[in-house]
Amino acid sequence: MMTSAPKTQSSSAAAVEQLRSQIFTGKLGAGTDHLESELAEALGMSRTPVREALLVLEGQGLVDVRPRKGVRIKPLSPADMTEIYDILTELESLAAANAARAGYSDTELSRLSVTVDEMDRALRQNDLDAWAQADDAFHHELVRLGNNSRVQSIVGMLSDQVRRARLVTLHMRPLPTRSNEDHRKLLAAIRQGDAKTAHRMHHVHRTAAKEMLIQLLRKHHLNSL
């Protein structure tokens, strides 16, 4: 599980959490508009904390605040996906290189290693959801090991932006068998402290994933989700 308990103190933070989750689950549909007052009533609080939450979510690229037209839940086009995956490719590759340079011990790399095993197992059992979860965990841990807090937050933000798309495409895509080889090779490169190779491996891996995904979206005419 990646989802840590969202300990919510203030209403404002609660609003961010709830709105985020409603965006991810589609309860607030992509491209739909909403008034501050509606959202406030739905969340059982006043407009103030909702407004503040919306500002935060706007900063995270999840909504557009459009004065007098309501807040729009940002839809994702294939062009957006391209933008985002291009950035994820670069930043995760940077993280991979930094992780390699850091010279982590096997113990420190154990989590990463475990997620690869989990992906293997999930694949053998044909359990796509489990695979996706492990894949998420892998990327998350990789970025963590990259040890650059800003990379972590930017990657997190962009991952959030493509979350909905991932849900949709997960069951349309071909089985990611190739993917796991990539992960193992990347892990090996990091173990050996080979930053160049780690960077290149991951770059190639991500680029391939991007292409596949974009094709998929175009093929199914998913121009906005």
Phi, psi of 81 (to 5 degrees): -60, -40
47 binds DNA (CB under 7 A): yes
Phi, psi of 70 (to 5 degrees): 85, 165
**Does residue 214 contact residue 81 with C-beta atoms inside 8 Å?**
yes
**Judged by CB under 8 A, which of 112, 151, 201, 217 binds a copy of itself?**
151
222 binds a copy of itself (CB under 8 A): no
**Does residue 161 contact residue 61 with C-beta atoms inside 8 Å?**
yes
Site track 55-94 with DNA (rule: CB under 7 A), x = hit: ----------x-xxxxx-----------------------
**Judged by CB under 7 A, which of 3, 4, 9, 107 binds DNA?**
9
**Does residue 77 contact residue 165 with C-beta atoms inside 8 Å?**
no
Contacts (CB under 8 A) with a copy of itself, residues 29-58: 51-52, 55-56
Query: 67 or 174, CB closer to DNA?
Result: 67
Please report the sign of the dihedral spanned by the C-alpha atoms of residue 156, residue 154, residue 152, residue 131. positive
**Does residue 224 contact residue 75 with C-beta atoms inside 8 Å?**
yes
Q: Which residues bind a copy of itself (CB under 8 A)?
A: 51-52, 55-56, 59-61, 83-84, 86-87, 90-91, 93-94, 98, 148-151, 154, 158
